[in-house]
Each structure stands twice: as structure tokens, then as C-alpha cells.
Structure 1
Amino acid sequence: MQEDFERGRVDAFFRRVAESIPVTNRPTSLVITHLLAERPAFLRGVARLSDVAAVLPKPRSINEAALREVSATMQVDQLDRRRFAEPEEVLAYVESRAAGRDLVLLDVGGYFAPTQEHLRTHFSGRLVGVVEDTENGHQRYADLDKVACPVFSVARSPLKDPEDYLVGQSVVFSTEALVRSRDNILNGRPACVIGYGKLGRSIAAMLHAKHVGVTVYDIDPVRRVQALSQGYRTAATLAEALAGAGVVVCATGNMALREEDFGRIANGAYVASVTSSDDELELSALNGLYVKTAVEPHVTRYSRTGHYFYVLADGNAVNFLHGASVGAFILLVQAEILAALALLAANGGAPGMWEVPAEVRQSIAATWLTYFHEVS
């Protein structure tokens, strides 16, 4: 919970960022977001640059106090990935909230990727563009045969590096807390980290700092070479990586474990994820194959004859159980999202994948340092 002076400082920071890129044609926005404790300040920043038609909180990351605060001043709607994959349903929803307007979509996880072409061609207003926050969402848009509008991605921004590093730490913290709830510890349990992007690197480093042996698996051989050079054991196949691992942390954002992989997980192993289960784990394929038993809060035992393992947080981002806080560093990414929104509103752009210019990122970082670190 932020003190009043802290809220004021965050609001002032976002106001400074919002004012740095003049917006003459104020668009309407639909905002998908993790509605965590600090998020109302970000949404107030979005409201400085656009008319917020609705906020759509990601279902498994909602802080009740934040929800009450946002609901008092903004429309809050339910988010459903299956519904948002249906072009006509998405179109009907967007029309109900923003008919005839210039519209910017703030996305977290590529929810609008399957339907953005349909929206561009059938929406009664104008789809100005999309701002995407996550690597998973970045991939969803980049993999499309045709990107129908400008998509500003902050997923690979250097301003996101501090967040990713600290999120990796928080994933290990929450994983260890749940393992300890079973009267077990990480030490003595070899770990497998699947995915060696920015999050995977942070997770591996944090586990190593706790004296846990780490094996890294990534489908990209370049990343396996990087992991090997940094002192980790690597595996040429996922099956080899899973063999004997007592903790498995999935950090790909793109289906780390499928049905056939779960049978290779060692008995008694704990499985954790850095994102939603729909994106990282094919748990639905285990229905009827394994018996599910809740053994502790947020710890589920999957068992069948001769085999059992534990899934943490129902396969969703385990760090959200403990607030997923990364301190003021999260404001860097949120400020870049505001800058991308402002750039779309001011200039639009051609269809395709875009990034915020380096000089804008530098300005955001300098402003952040003024407000949150280099205070005289």
C-alpha cells in the first residue's frame, strides 16, 4: 500500500511523461492490465492521454483494493481469452464501448492479436494501433501473416530489463515459499529452468545464488551456449532437462510443457510458471489422466499409478501470489507504454511492429531517476 506522498510522486512522474509528447487528437483506449496494487496510478496516466472506455483486468492478477479504486471512476469489464479469440464477439464488445472513435488497444499477452485484422476492417471507428507489454504477446503479433495496424511493443525494451530481473527473483521467492509450505526446501532439489530469455536468466541466477544446481533448456541453441558459458548445465532435449529435476520453472511464455512432457517429470517434483497456465502449461490435457488433489493452498498434486508431481498456483504466474512487486522499477515500463500511446495518438504509423525511439526511452529513464533515485 502506497503512502499519500508516494502516490503523489508517482502521479507527478506519469504526468511529466504524458506531457512530454503532445497529443492533439485524444483517442479512446481499452486497457488490458494486471490490476495490481500500484496499477491505479498507471491507469490515471492512461486517462491523461486517452478516454478510457474500459479496463479489463487479467483474471488471476487482481488486487481487490485496486479494483475498488479503479471501479469508482472507470468502467471495468471481464477479460476472457476464449471470447477474445472470436472475431465477431470482440467486434461486438469493442463497438459497445468505443463505436465510431479513434481507438488504441493496450494489450498484455496478445489478446487482440487473433482479431486485429477483423477489427481494422469492420470496426465503425478507426483502429489507431496497439501497445503490447509482454514477450508472449509480442510473439503473437509478430507471428501473424499480416499485422493490420501499428503495434508498439515494449516487451524487448531495455527499460524492461530491471523489471524482468526482479520478476525472476520474485518467481523464485514464491516458488520457495510454496515448497516450504510442504515442509520441503529447494536445497537438494536439482532445478530445471525451461526458457533462457531475460526471465529465465534471472531465475537461474537466483536459484544458483541459493546453491541450487540448475539445468537450462531452451529450444534456441544460442541461448543454451549462453547458459553454458555462465556456468549452468544445459540439456540438448527437454526430456534430458526434466530427468531428475526436483523443481521445474517454466519461463518460455509459449507452452513449455505439453501433454507428453508431464510423464517425464520426476516423482515429487514441483512445477512453477512465470505466466498464465494457458500460455505455459497444457494442463487441460491431463484431465482424466491424472487425479488432481489440493494438498496445500496453491499446491496441487497430480497423480496416477506410479507417478506424481505438484503444480504451483494452478500453473499460473506463481509470483502473483505474493504481489509480484518489483518496486518503482515497474514504472519505467508503464511510462514507456504511456509514451507509445502518445506516439500513436500523435503520429499513428504504418502497420507493423514498432518500438519507442531510443531518445524517448532515455528521457523516461532520466525522469525516473529524478523522481525515484537521484533526489537531491
Structure 2
Amino acid sequence: MNNLAVRRLRAYFADVTSHFPADQPTASLLVTHLLPERPAFVEAVAHTSNLRAVLPKPKSISADALEVIRNTVPCDPLSREIFDNPTEAVKYLEMRAAGLPLVLLDIGGYFASSLSEVCERFSGRILGVVEDTENGYQRYAGLDKLPCPVISVARSPLKDPEDYLVGQSVVFSAEALLRARGGILVGRRAAVVGFGKLGSSIARLLHAKGVQVTVYDTDPVRSTQALSRGFSVAAHLDAALGSADLVLCATGARSLKHADFASLKDGAYVATVTSAEDELEIDRLPETYDLTPAGDHITRYASSGRSFYLCNNGNAVNFLHGASVGPFIFLVQAEILAGLSALSRGDLAPGLHEIPAKDRATIASTWLQHFNDRTS
């Protein structure tokens, strides 16, 4: 980012944090994609709270951003193994925030599996969690009983512009990988697994490029929505996979299990919108498939005379080309800050929550003042 863009972004976050200050001294831990524009958001989190550490998502780390942030805040390795183990999770929180009122700012439900024990055993107080993704929302919503408030921004209308642009970047990157191997999208068949906000965006964009799209979703409501928008809808996953030249996984959960890969059409390409550990069960594939490089960021999996191609090792394909969605990402980051502010009050009941509509309107108005360049 150039100096002017950085100044504008810092001014925007200064206005946001003035609207949504912490109600009381609050510590935080931040899980985040560490993209080039992210230091300004990290600064805003540190302004609103006592930011104890940043945990960068391992597949999306800008070296320049990491260097900037490390000068002011500890940056720790992030893995599901750490936080799936309650003892290790508590040990980490004690190391970084012992005895403090603490908000966990999450992307992907990293704290979900051990949250109950962490809330019980941590020497401070877990004020709550702010979760940014559909995958994380599902992880927290799937718990039998939430021990603290969880504010989700995953389904916020302020996330709609980001989801649409992420869909564009996913399609762009998938097409770029096919073109690098001499292929094109026009006339191909695609399966979109998951018809949420991202999946529906991807399906529309593929259709606009002349791709024949079949949708598969376990939710019958979403399946009817896909059908009403003119897409073919598969009743079973294997039916969708068996005819698709390109499979795009957008469930935010586990799209393809180990056995599902056998249903793929010979020569199909598989790409996802999130990390491989969340979207695909690929750990055991090397037991039954031979792996060979098939070009930049493409791996060929072959077995018994059939093969498929996995893009970017199963991780979010759009991160190959920067995954930029422009300033619209700052709407979501502001809502995360508003969630941090709300949790700092310490008065929300355990359970799932959203930011009030009036606060979203404040965020949108502030964003327009800084990023709508129309002068008349």
C-alpha cells in the first residue's frame, strides 16, 4: 500500500474505534490472514484492546506485513492441534494473557473445540469470541452449549461485498491455473459444492463465463434457491462430481471426504475457497494415489488409470493471486472491532450473537465517508 492509502485506512479505523471503544480494559488474541493491508487493522485492534498476540493464518502471510507487526506485537504459530487440545490451549492463553479479561478474535473456529474447558480453567475471564467465517460459525454453532458469547460476522450484510469479490477472485484463479495448462472454462462442466454466499457467487460467475454449473448442497433450502436461479442441482454428491471438469468446494466445512475423490471425473480439477484442513480430507490420499507436480500450484493424483488435479494443495485457490477484494474488506474488519467493543462490556449472555443493525449502519456510513470517491 502507498502512503496515501495507509493514511486513509488509519483515519478510517480511527473513526471506527471512536464509535466502538472498549467499555473496560480488555485483552485480545487475534487470528488473521496477514495480507499486505492488515497492519492497519492490527493497529486498530491494539488501540481498542490490549492485544497480546497475533496468530497469522499459515497459508496467507505477507512477509512485509509480518515484519511490521512483529515490531509491536508478538506473532505466534497457529495450528488446530494447539487449540484442539484443551491443556495446550489453556497453557497458551496463560502464557499470553494470564488473569486478564480476554476476547478471542477468530477466523475459522480455532478455539471452538476446547472453548468450554478454556472458559472453565483459564485464570482470567473469557469475555467471548468474535468469529469471521462461515466455517467458524458452524464450528461454534455445533457445540452443545456455548460457555460464553460468540459474535459472528460471517452472515452479516456487510460481508456481502467481500463474498462477491472473493467469488470473483476464486474463479479468476481457477481459470488462470487451467489456462496455464492449456485449458479454458468455456464449455466445461463445473460442480459447486456449497451454495452459501460464496458458493452462489461462484456459481453465477462461472455461468457468466459459459460454464455449465451443477450445484450440490446438503441444505434443501439452498438447493431450492439454486434451482430457482437456473442451476442444475444434484441430489447426491457423487452425481455432481462424476460429470464435472472443475469442482469448486465452498461449504466452509468438509466438502470432500477421502472416499469422495474416487467419484471425481477422470482429469477433473479440484479447488477450494478455504484451507485444505477445513474443506478436504486429503491426508490419506497419498496411500492410494501417486502424486506428481503438474505445473505451478497443481498436483496430479493418479490411481488405477484415473487421475484428478488438486489446485494449491487444496488451500484457498484465490490466495495464489493475492485474494484482494479492495476496501470492502474493511467493512468486515470494522464489524469485528464493533464485536470486540460489545464483548468488552461483559454483559452478553452465552450463545450466538450478531452486531445490531444500527451499528452496521454506523460502520457503513463511516466506510462511505472514507472510501466512496464520488464527488457529486
TM-score by length of 2: 0.98
- Give the whole-Å Cα distance in 1 for the aligned partners of 2:374 and 2:209: 33
1:287 is displaced (CA, Å) by 2.4
Tell me how far apart the structure 2 counterparts of residues 21 and 211 of structure 1 sit (CA, whole Å).
45
State the partner residue of 1:145: 144
Q: CA deviation at 1:24?
A: 3.8
Q: Match for residue 212 of structure 2?
A: 213
**Contact in 1 for aligned 2:192/2:249 (Cα 8 Å):** yes
Alignment of structure 1 residues 116-195 onto 2, 5 Å: 116-195=115-194
AA aligned to 1:274 is: V
- Match for 2:211: what amino acid? V
Are the aligned partners of 2:258 and 2:285 in contact in 1 as well (CA < 8 Å)?
A: yes
Residue-by-residue CA offset, 1:118-170 (whole Å, 9 max, x unaligned): 11111111111110000110110111011011111000100001101110110
Deviation, 1:248, is 0.4
Please give the root-mean-square deviation of Cα atoms over the aligned residues, in Å: 1.0
Please tell me whether the aligned partners of residues 129 and 348 of structure 1 are also in contact (alpha carbons under 8 angstroms). Answer: no
**Pairing of 1:138-287 with structure 2 (within 5 A):** 138-287=137-286
Matched, 1:27 2:26: yes
Match of 1:300 in 2: 299
Rounded to whole Å, the distance in 1 between the matches of 2:88 and 2:21 is: 34
Looking at structure 1, the residues matched to 76 and 335 of structure 2 have their Cα atoms a distance apart, in angstroms, of 24
Q: How far is the alpha carbon of 1:79 from its aligned partner?
A: 0.3
Aligned equivalent of 1:98: 97
1:196, distance to aligned residue in structure 2 (A): 0.4
Asked whether the 8 Å contact 1:113–1:141 carries over to 2, the reply is yes
In the alignment, the residues of structure 1 paired with residue 258 and residue 346 of structure 2 have an alpha-carbon distance, to the nearest angstrom, of: 46
- Deviation string, structure 1 residues 309-329 (Cα, Å, up to 9, x no partner): 000000010001111100000
Q: Distance in 1 between matches of 2:155 and 2:354?
A: 9
Letter in 2 for 1:57: P
Q: Which amino acid aligns with 2:203?
A: A
- 2: CA distance, partners of 1:24 / 1:149: 18
- Cα distance in 1, alignment partners of residues 90 and 21 from structure 2: 30
Counterparts of 1:38 and 1:322, CA distance in 2: 15
Letter in 1 for 2:240: A
**Does the aligned pair in 1 maintain the 2:13–2:44 contact within 8 Å?**
yes
Q: For 1:266, what is the secondary structure of its paired residue?
A: coil
Residue type at the aligned position of 1:360: D
Distance 1:56 1:233 in 2: 40
Whether contact under 8 Å (1:22, 1:346) holds in the other structure is no
> 1:48, CA displacement in angstroms?
1.0
Deviates more, 1:243-252 or 1:221-230: 221-230
Spell out, residue by residue over 1:38-97, the C-alpha distance to the aligned partner (whole angstroms, 9 max, x if none): 111110110110111100001001111111111111100000111210000010011000
Residue 266 of structure 2 aligns to which amino acid in structure 1?
A: N
Residue 22 of structure 1: how far off its partner (Å): 3.5
- In structure 2, distance between residues paired with 1:242 and 1:254: 17
Q: Is the 8 A contact 2:274 2:316 kept in 1?
A: yes
Gaps of 5+ in 2: none
Shift of 1:231: 1.2
Question: Secondary structure of 1:283's match?
Answer: coil
How far, CA to CA, are the matches of 2:3 and 2:84 in structure 1?
Answer: 40
Find the residue that maps to 2:235 and give its secondary structure.
coil
2:336 is equivalent to residue 337 of structure 1: yes
Q: Residues of 1 paired with 2:146 and 2:221: CA distance?
A: 28
Contact 2:23–2:341, Cα closer than 8 Å, also in 1: no
Query: Offset at 1:5?
Result: 1.2
Which string of whole-angstrom CA distances, capped at 9 and with x for unpartnered residues, describes residues 202-243 of structure 1?
Answer: 101111111111111111122111111111111111111112
Partners of 1:28 and 1:333 lie apart in 2 by 20
What is the correspondence of 1:46-61 to structure 2 with a 5 Å cutoff?
46-61=45-60
| TM-score normalised by structure 1 residue count | 0.98
- Checking the alignment, whether the CA contact within 8 Å between 2:149 and 2:351 is kept in structure 1 is yes
State whether residues 271 and 316 of structure 2, in contact with CA within 8 Å, keep that contact through their aligned partners in structure 1: yes
Amino acid at match of 1:169: Q
Q: Give 1:284 shift.
A: 1.1
CA distance in 1, matches of 2:114, 2:52: 19
Residue in 2 aligned with 1:324? Answer: 323
- Which position in structure 2 is the counterpart of 1:315? 314
Report the alpha carbon displacement of residue 375 of structure 1 after superposing the two structures with TM: 5.1
Structure 1 window deviating more from structure 2 (289-298 vs 89-98): it is 289-298
Runs (4+) of structure 1 exceeding 4 A deviation are none
Identity, in percent, stands at 56
Q: Distance in 2 between matches of 1:106 and 1:325?
A: 21
Whole-Å separation in 2 of the counterparts to 1:47 and 1:22? 11
What residue ranges of structure 1 are gaps of 5+ in the alignment? Answer: none
Aligned to 2:364: 365
SS at match of 2:16: helix
Task: Tell me, in whole angstroms, the C-alpha distance in 1 between the residues paired with 2:48 and 2:88.
Answer: 27
Distance across 2 between alignment mates of 1:178 and 1:83: 33
Letter of the structure 1 residue corresponding to residue 232 of structure 2: R
